[in-house]
Structures are given as C-alpha cells and as structure tokens.
Amino acid sequence: MGGRFSITIMANDSAEAGKYLDLAITEIKRVEALISSWDKKSQTSEINRNAGLKPVKVDRELFKLIERSISLSKLTDGAFDISFASAGKLWRFDGSMKKLPTEAEIRKSVVTVDYRNIVLDKTASTVFLKTKGMKIGFGAVGKGYVADRVRSMLISEGVGAGIIDASGDLRVWGTRPDGEEWKIAITDPADKRKTLAVLPISSGAVVTSGNYEKFAKIDGKRYAHIIDPRTGWPARGLVSVTVFAPSAEIADALATSIFVMGTEAGLNRIDQMPSTECLIIDESGAVFTSKNIKINQP
C-alpha cells in the first residue's frame, strides 16, 4: 500500500497474537490485490485499461467501495474524486519538480476527471469509465479502507481490542489494557517535540493528511500531493488535517477533501456530520477545530 502498517492487538499470549497478526497481513494483501492501481493484475487496473471501451465485472467488495467513493464525491462537491488519478501524472511530489506546469497543461490534466463519468451497474456488478484515458485510484481512501477491513476481520476472530495504524490512518476498537479509552496525541507542527493536544478516540478512526512529507516546493511555495479535481491545481494553504470519524475510510476521504475545500468549507461540512470532528492547521500555524473538539482545556 506504499506505507508502513503497524498493528497492535490484545491477546492471551504471544502465540495467539502471532496468529492474529498473520491473519491481518493476509487481509492487507488480499485487499491490496483488489484495489491497487499499480498492480496490473488487479480488478482496479482492469477497470482503468477498459476506460472508454467497456464495462468490467468486479467483486461486490470493489463495487461497493467505488459506490461509496462516489457518494463521498457528492458529499464534498467533487473535492474528493477517485477519478483524479489521471491528473496526478503532471506533478511530482518528491522534491524533483522545479517549475510549474503551464495553466493549459493543468487544465488539460483534469479533462478526464469526473466521478459522474463512473458508470455503475448494480445488477451486473460492472464498472465503466466513460472517457478514454480516465483512471480511478484509491490513494486517498485505500489505507483507511484496509484499516477498517483488518479491524472487522480481527473482531470476527474474537480479538477484543486493538489499533490498526495504516501509515497514520488509525482505526481502534475496545479499550486499553488498563480499561482506559485509546488516546491520540496531535503533534505541534511548529515544534515536533511538543504535543498540541491529546484526544480520546473510543471506537472509531482518526486520520491525518499532512503536507510535510509529500509536496513540491516551487518558487518558495508548497504544493500538496492532494489535487483539486475541479481545477487540476494542488491544494494549498493547509499543513495538516486530522479527521475523527466512525470509520477510517470516511476519515481518510474527508481529510483529503478538507485539504481541497479549505478551512471554512471544510469545517462547515464536518459540523453537519454526526460523530465526525476535525482539527486543521494552516500554513501560518493557526489551529481550527470543529464544534465538539476542545483542545485548550487541561
């Protein structure tokens, strides 16, 4: 999945724990083989290869993930869009990019990006990308989705508590050995040794999208690896977005979307959603939180 996973579980002894960890690794690989757009053998790659040509029959699981991704596009007014994948190619976020593409190149890069052109046929369980050159990718929800799947699988195996950390996308359940709720520490971006806040997470997910790792710096400006599908421009202005939600998939998608939507629209949308909260840090270091997060209390 292009990142480190870390799995913490409660078990009676290390042999039992080892068995659960093996199951978790198998589950991660299984999901990756289905949703990866790098793996040429995946069903996702098959959908992409057939863009503009024909519908592709897929597993129910992938069908439903795509269906939910489209709902998230509607919820975020298109800020989140799994068909962004054809646009990403114009940018490199590994520090090697020195000059901006032209406005025409940027505009051209998003002509095939539009979640409304992902055609689903529920009865036939097929997915069709209407436009040639169109591509889907789960870079912004995949890790969250995997974390959710691993958690469900472990719960069905009888694991009472744990944390799945899919490169910073956390899904937790149960309580700590001492009976306390799991807590998450938010790092102060101004001083990485300091903690800005410690917040409880009972049985949900917390995901942070940050632009301190993958970004392009051109003429002194930072461009995040998250792209506004409507313009083709990388999102700007925010440094880190943390979302608390009932599932890691939703938290992952929303964290990415808020980067694109910006502080005001992002907070507004989050405040309308039940059991969903967020914490935003912008380029100037200012911290914004949704209605029910209070970080300044002792």
The verdict on whether residue 166 carries a ligand-binding annotation is no
Q: Which residues of 219-247 are buried (b: 16+ CB within 10 A; e: fewer)?
A: eeebbbbbbbbeebbbbbebbbbbbbbeb
Min dist. Cβ of residue 228 to ligand ADP (A)? 6
Q: Residue of minimal CB distance from Mg ion?
A: 256
| DSSP assigned state of 198 | E
Applying CB under 6 A, which of residues 129, 134, 140, 153 lies at the interface with ligand ADP?
Answer: 140
Q: Which parts of 54-93 interact with ligand ADP (CB under 6 A)? A: 80-82, 84, 88
Q: Which stretch binds ligand ADP (CB under 6 A): 55-63, 122-130, 137-145, 188-196?
A: 137-145
140 binds Mg ion (CB under 5 A): yes
Q: Helix-strand-coil percent breakdown of the chain, rounded to 5?
A: 35, 25, 40
118 binds ligand ADP (CB under 6 A): no
Binding residue count for ligand ADP, defined by CB under 6 A: 18
Q: Which stretch binds ligand ADP (CB under 6 A): 14-22, 55-63, 123-131, 221-229?
A: 221-229
The verdict on whether residue 252 carries a ligand-binding annotation is yes
Instruction: Give CA–CA dist 242/155, Å, rounded.
Output: 25
Pairing of strands 205-210, 238-245: antiparallel
Task: Return the number of other C-beta atoms located less than 10 Å from residue 86's C-beta.
Answer: 22
Residue 120: strand pairing partners: 127
The verdict on whether residue 185 carries a ligand-binding annotation is no
Nearest to 90 by CA among 239, 236, 212, 216: 216
Applying CB under 6 A, which of residues 182, 225, 232, 280 lies at the interface with ligand ADP?
Answer: 225
- Residue 93 structure tokens: 């976020």
Residue 201 host element (H or E): strand 191-201
260 binds ligand ADP (CB under 6 A): yes
252 binds Mg ion (CB under 5 A): yes
In which residue are the tokens 């995946």 written? 42
Largest CA distance in the chain: 60
Distances (CA, A) of 40 to 28, 55, 160, 204: 17, 17, 37, 33
Residue number, 82 or 134, with CB nearest to ligand ADP: 82
Classified as helix, coil or strand, 48 is helix
Min dist. Cβ of residue 157 to ligand ADP (A)? 27
Q: Residue of minimal CB distance from ligand ADP?
A: 139
Q: Which residues bind to ligand ADP, rule: CB under 6 A?
A: 80-82, 84, 88, 137, 139-140, 209, 214, 225-227, 229, 252, 255-256, 260
Which residues contact Mg ion (rule: CB under 5 A)? 140, 252, 255-256
Binding residue positions for Mg(2+): 140, 252, 256
